[in-house]
């Protein structure tokens, strides 16, 4: 199954230079106190991380890793893409931040990090879908945490990952009494992809990327979805204690083009019509006992 690593590594290598132009890199360099919109959203639930030893799994080009370092954590970033890490290292150097970056895919992170342990494992938005086994991910997190250490993950909600925008073709019988329902010709989210983790992945081929302008030269990628219960159960089975679980109606990218609207205040997208229908992202926190 490890063939997926080569495919996804090439895809993220191809995105790195585009994202270096399209992410808020220049904003972070212009203001030494600036943090990414993603980490700004996370900050109320993240709490005080000053002085913590923290590792950011699937850190990509390091904008969130740098932001966490600016909140006072001693940061290590891990990613499978050497091109992404080259951008991350350059960003850290230009920002004057001491951040260690290690090339490794997630499941091999404990070995690549020399069996070190951490106060905080941070997994940012858009990460879990690249992993075939959520149970192995949770076991990896547990191996990286020292006693009393904690996990913080915010990611796309598995319901969102199951959706595709579709056009309604017929009048639903209940529409007479539920007048807010979508009608013929209306675009609406529809469940088209697996909600539960499957052995076989979803394979995509996309020559554009959400994070900037330019052609992705290795456009194929491989993804898996993991249900919310599967994620929670994996965390518990790995010996961690769940401390919070929150669902949000917004996501940092235009996940359903044509159906979502940007909130300029947060930089997040939510459904244009009846956003209360969709859990777009979730935040989960847990701790290792001890």
Identify whether 25 is part of a domain.
yes
pLDDT at 209 over 90: no
170 is a domain residue: no
Q: How many domains does the chain have?
A: 1
Better-predicted residue by pLDDT, 145 or 22: 145
The reported pLDDT for the residue numbered 282 is 98
Taking residues 153-178, what's their average pLDDT? 96
Q: What's the pLDDT at 23? A: 81
In a domain, 91, yes or no: yes
Which residue is listed with tokens 């529409």?
A: 175
List the domain range (segments joined by +) for residue 209: 3-162+193-287
Confidence band of 1 (pLDDT split at 50, 70, 90): low
Count of helix runs (H) and strand runs (E) in the chain: 9, 13
The CATH number linked to 222 is 3.40.50.150
Q: Give 7-56 pLDDT, tens digit per residue.
A: 999 998 998 888 888 788 999 999 999 999 999 999 999 999 999 999 99
Task: Give the whole-angstrom CA distance, residue 151 versus residue 37.
Answer: 20
Q: Over the stretch 87-119, which tens digit does the pLDDT of each residue have?
A: 999 999 999 999 999 999 999 999 999 999 999
Residue 74, both tokens: 């001693």
pLDDT surpasses 70 at 246: yes
């Amino acid at each position: 199954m490890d063939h997926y690593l080569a495919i996804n590594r090439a895809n993220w290598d191809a995105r790195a230079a585009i994202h270096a132009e399209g992410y808020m890199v220049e904003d972070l360099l212009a203001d030494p106190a600036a943090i990414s919109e993603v980490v700004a959203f996370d900050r109320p639930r993240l709490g005080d991380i000053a002085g913590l030893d923290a590792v950011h799994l699937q850190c990509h080009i390091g904008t969130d890793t740098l932001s966490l370092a600016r909140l006072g954590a001693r940061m290590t970033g891990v990613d499978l893409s050497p091109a992404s890490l080259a951008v991350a290292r350059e960003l850290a150097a230009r920002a004057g931040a001491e951040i260690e970056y290690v090339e490794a895919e997630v499941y091999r992170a404990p070995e690549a990090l020399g069996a070190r342990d951490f106060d905080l494992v941070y997994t940012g938005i858009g990460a879990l879908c690249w992993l075939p086994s959520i149970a192995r991910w949770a076991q990896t997190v547990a191996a990286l945490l020292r006693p009393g250490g904690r996990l913080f993950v915010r990611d796309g909600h598995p319901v969102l990952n199951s959706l595709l925008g579709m056009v309604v073709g017929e009048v639903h019988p209940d529409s007479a009494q539920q007048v807010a329902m979508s009608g013929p010709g209306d675009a609406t989210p529809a469940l088209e992809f697996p909600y539960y983790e499957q052995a076989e992945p979803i394979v995509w081929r996309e020559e554009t990327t959400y994070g900037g302008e330019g052609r992705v030269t290795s456009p194929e990628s491989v993804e898996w979805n993991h249900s919310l219960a599967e994620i929670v159960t994996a965390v518990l089975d790995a010996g961690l204690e769940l401390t919070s679980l929150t669902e949000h109606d917004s996501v940092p990218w235009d996940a359903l083009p044509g159906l979502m609207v940007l909130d300029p205040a947060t930089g997040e997208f939510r459904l244009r019509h009846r956003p209360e229908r969709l859990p777009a992202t979730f935040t989960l926190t847990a701790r290792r006992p001890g």
